[in-house]
Amino acid sequence: MRKADSMKGGFKERGRRKLLLASGVLLLALTLVGLVAVLEKGPISIPVTVGAHPFNRGPFGAHSLYSMLSSNYTVTPVYNWSQALAQLANCSKALIIIVSPEIQYTQGDVEAIRGFRDKCKEIALIIGDETGSSNRILEALNSTIRIQGALSPNPHPIVSIETPWGWRGLLALDKASTLTTKGAPTLIGWDLLAGEAYAYYEDMGSFKAVVLGDGSIFLNQVLQSNASEPYKSFLSSTVTHLCGGECTVYLEASKYQGLEPMKALEYMRDPRKAALIDPSSFLATIIANAIHPSTWLPPLLNYINNLVLSLSRDVSLGGILMIFSVLALTLMLMSKIERVPDAFLEDVREVDWYGYGELSGRILAEGARLGKRDFLTLYSIVDGVLKSLTGASLESEDAVKVLESRGVEGAKAREYWRFMNKYYRRALGKTLWPPIVFWGRVCRESIELSESVLRALGVSLMEVKGLEERTV
């Protein structure tokens, strides 16, 4: 029972090992396939966001704006205006915020933003732009306001803001652009010193727009600074006014350049450019690229190849390495192979429980060795037969007469008697004559002689039915 249990345990252990081996090999194979596939696909390109991107946490990013709005509204960063429009459904009120776009709007973008106006009952627009890239949007939405695009000679104008919804205050702008208009929008921001227009509010019923000639007031460096309160307040009151109770905010995220990791790395060397870069996305990009097989696998293979080539040029070192690699490869291949001795099936070994089988076999094969002891045994046998049948001993000379009486020729009987007793006395050590005796030969001769004598007495040494009954 214990043996069965231990066997069962052994099988379980072996099964578990097999399972581990199979799953391990499968995992390794899948990993290799995956590595090759990823390698084949090329390095990943996660662009490092630059500029007023909603996810740029750098000084020139707009992540603070995004966070601020997200706390009260549903904010959707728009990476593609056409896709955003396609996903739009049941839109009652939408607010589009565009901050300092760096890439020109395409016709597709313009059509999509116009589609927002068509799909939504009400649409509002906040533009903070000093480049003039947003003018196409304003034009498409039939706004009369335009951004000049040329930076104001006054680098940091102090603008007085007075809005119809009641917010008043002074805001310091950065490198801003003045605004123009062919219509009659409400001027809500002007330079205190030069009187130039920097902010308009236009209400066209279902479309409202607030346009500022500077996007810097929406950037992290402003909203995260110690003097951020008026900016936040202005922003908050403007969004509240445009959105009312509830609306969806669409934050521009498609018109900012993405930097390749290596380029971003170059930017990082320059402190001014470094401020443009989102550090978290930069870090993520660096890590992702570092662990990507396309970064390390080809150079690694190349390195190994070069190493092997350089080693192989050195004959002695190459030879040693070859021997080690042969051994390692062989051991690795052999370690998982179960080995058994190549033995033939053991055939049944037939046995004879034959007490004298060995003796019989030896006699049959080569004839047994005969010696002095065997001669004495033979003498004893013949003596026993004579005694049991005739009462005469072979030692006695009477045996000759007895044998004669049983039909043995007289001379032969005497010769036999002499022969047997001569060697009998010699065997017992009673005489030393003959000095040299070959007992084997003597035994063979005595067997032949005895057989003829014993046959005369009716028994035989050589027949199957022999003389045991007479002698023992």
Partner 1 sequence: MSGIVASTGRVSAIILVASALIALDVFWAVDSGALGLTLIGFLAALRVYNAVAQTSLSACRVYVDVKGSVEGKPLTVEYNVCNNSWIPIALVEVSLVYPSYLKLVRGSPGGLTVIPPRECVKYRAELLARVGKHKIGPLKAVLRDLFGFFRGLELTLGDPVEVKVKPREDESLRRVLLEISRSVGLSRARRPGEGSEFYATRDYKPGDEVRRVYWKALAKGRMAVKEFERESTLHTLFLILADKSMLYGPQLSTPLEHIARITVTIARHLASKGDYVGLLVVSNGKTLGGRLERGWKGYRRVADALSNIDYDSIIGSTENPESGISPEQLVGKLLASTPSREKVNVILINTVEGTEKYSRQFKKLQSLKACTLHSFIIIPHLYGIEKLKAFERAVYRIKTYEDTRKAYDKVRELRREGIKAVPVTPWDAAAKIISKLETVRGLA
- Using the contact rule CB under 8 A, the part of the chain among 45-53, 191-199, 377-385, 419-427 near partner 1 is 377-385
User: How far is residue 58's CA from residue 63's CA, in Å, rounded to a whole number?
Assistant: 8
- The one-letter code for the residue type at 458 is G
Choose, by CB under 8 A, the member of 219, 370, 408, 456 that binds partner 1. 370
Q: How far is the CB of 314 from partner 1 (least distance, A)?
A: 10
Q: Find, among 99, 189, 188, 204, the residue nearest to 144 by Cα.
A: 204
Nearer to partner 1, 119 or 444 (CB): 444
Nearer to partner 1, 5 or 346 (CB): 346
Nearer to partner 1, 413 or 467 (CB): 467
**227 counts as binding partner 1 under rule CB under 8 A:** no
Choose, by CB under 8 A, the member of 20, 194, 301, 359 that binds partner 1. 359
User: How far is residue 36's CA from residue 44's CA, in Å, rounded to a whole number?
Assistant: 14
**449 counts as binding partner 1 under rule CB under 8 A:** no
Pairing label, strands 248-252, 145-151 = unpaired
**440 counts as binding partner 1 under rule CB under 8 A:** no
Burial class (CB in 10 A: 0-12, 13-18, 19+), 2: exposed
Burial class (CB in 10 A: 0-12, 13-18, 19+), 59: middle
Give the total residue count for the chain.
472
**4 counts as binding partner 1 under rule CB under 8 A:** no
x-or-dash string of contact with partner 1, 12-31, rule CB under 8 A: --x---x-------------
Q: Find, among 122, 114, 124, the residue nearest to 84 by Cα.
A: 114
Q: Find, among 145, 251, 128, the residue nearest to 202 by Cα.
A: 145
Count CB neighbours of 48 within 10 A.
28
**Cβ contacts of residue 419 below 8 Å, gap of 6+?**
445, 446, 449
Beta-bridge partner residues of 50? 277
Q: How far is the CB of 373 from partner 1 (least distance, A)?
A: 9
- Using the contact rule CB under 8 A, the part of the chain among 186-194, 244-252, 320-328, 400-408 near partner 1 is 320-328
**352 counts as binding partner 1 under rule CB under 8 A:** yes
Nearer to partner 1, 344 or 433 (CB): 344
Nearer to partner 1, 349 or 430 (CB): 349
Evaluate whether 161 touches 231 at the Cβ level (below 8 Å).
Answer: no
Choose, by CB under 8 A, the member of 374, 385, 424, 457 that binds partner 1. 374
Nearer to partner 1, 280 or 393 (CB): 393
**468 counts as binding partner 1 under rule CB under 8 A:** yes
Q: How far is the CB of 13 from partner 1 (least distance, A)?
A: 13
Nearer to partner 1, 74 or 452 (CB): 452
Nearer to partner 1, 351 or 436 (CB): 351
Choose, by CB under 8 A, the member of 89, 227, 436, 464 that binds partner 1. 464
Q: How far is the CB of 36 from partner 1 (least distance, A)?
A: 19
**311 counts as binding partner 1 under rule CB under 8 A:** yes
Helix (H) or strand (E) holding 238: helix 229-243
User: String of b and e for 398-435 (b: at least 16 CB within 10 Å)?
Assistant: ebbbbbbebebeeebbbebbeebbebbebbeeeeeeee
Q: How far is the CB of 83 from partner 1 (least distance, A)?
A: 51
**433 counts as binding partner 1 under rule CB under 8 A:** no
Helix (H) or strand (E) holding 260: none
User: How far is residue 115's CA from residue 319's CA, in Å, rounded to a whole number?
Assistant: 74
Nearer to partner 1, 40 or 342 (CB): 342
Q: How far is the CB of 460 from partner 1 (least distance, A)?
A: 8
Peptide bond into 434 cis (omega under 30): yes
User: How far is residue 155's CA from residue 50's CA, in Å, rounded to a whole number?
Assistant: 23
User: What is the total count of residues that contact partner 1 (CB under 8 A)?
Assistant: 64
Q: How far is the CB of 347 from partner 1 (least distance, A)?
A: 4
Query: Cα–Cα distances in Å, from 416 out to 63, 118, 451?
Result: 137, 149, 11
User: How far is residue 108's CA from residue 254's CA, in Å, rounded to a whole number?
Assistant: 13
**347 counts as binding partner 1 under rule CB under 8 A:** yes
User: How far is residue 134's CA from residue 138's CA, in Å, rounded to a whole number?
Assistant: 7
**366 counts as binding partner 1 under rule CB under 8 A:** no
Q: Which of residues 327-346 bind partner 1 (CB under 8 A)?
A: 327, 329-330, 333-334, 337-342, 344-346
Chain positions contacting partner 1, by CB under 8 A: 14, 18, 308, 311-312, 318-319, 321-323, 325-327, 329-330, 333-334, 337-342, 344-357, 359-360, 363-364, 367-368, 370, 374, 377-378, 380-381, 443, 447-448, 451, 461-469, 471-472
